Amino acid sequence: MAETAAPQTVEPATAKLSAADFRVYNSMAEHMNYFHNSFRATWKILYAACSSGKRPSNMSLRQFIATAVQFCHHLTVHHTIEEQHIFPVLATKMPAFQKELELLTQHKQIHQGLDKFEAYLEKCRSGEQDLRMDELKVLMDSFGDVLWQHLDDEVKQLGAENMWKYWTKDEMRRMPM
């Protein structure tokens, strides 16, 4: 009778990192997640209103539209900073940050829907069009899945489990974030 090998547990390479080294390698993920959590929170407020057909009771129509427009502007600025200052550095060693690959492609897909979302909101803000929550929800649905996937993917790529493979601690300390 053949002996069955006991299942082997493979320790992740990050298990070999000290707590201090883990913090160094995980710092960009933590920083990015801080911003991403803000986007998630605002999205949830907007989407809940669209799903229920009612804006939050503590927001006037003007405030709701302003919150949605600010979401668009903040996300656009966030992606612009990433694409101009962060991704080019990361792309020197990390394929996921190179042009036309994963994360930049997600940016483009997000902005296809985000631009329409923002244009609709601007028409509502100017009075050219009445805000309809069902229409706003359709626009949000057009880019929501890729946005949420992107928010998770980016943080995962920047996590210690991945970063230590590409960068030294000194390089991590010099990152533009």
pLDDT tens column, 9-19: 334 555 689 99
Structure-token pair, residue 78: 């966030």
For 41, half-sphere exposure in the C-beta direction (CA atoms, 13 angstrom radius) is: 8
pLDDT at residue 2 tops 90: no
CB 111 within 8 A of CB 76: yes
Each residue's pLDDT tens digit, 95-147: 888 876 678 889 999 999 999 999 999 999 999 999 999 999 999 999 999 99
Is 90 exceeded by the pLDDT of residue 54?
A: yes
Q: Which two tokens stand for residue 176?
A: 């533009």
pLDDT in tens, 36-53: 999 999 999 999 999 999
Q: How far apart are CA 105 and CA 99, in angstroms?
A: 8
Closest CA to 26 of 158, 146, 131, 126: 158
- What gap in Å lies between CA 36 and CA 167, rounded to an integer? 23
What is the chain's mean pLDDT, rounded? 91
User: pTM to 2 decimals?
Assistant: 0.87
d(CA 119, CA 50): 17
Per-residue pLDDT of 63-95, as tens digits, reads: 999 999 999 999 999 999 999 999 999 999 998
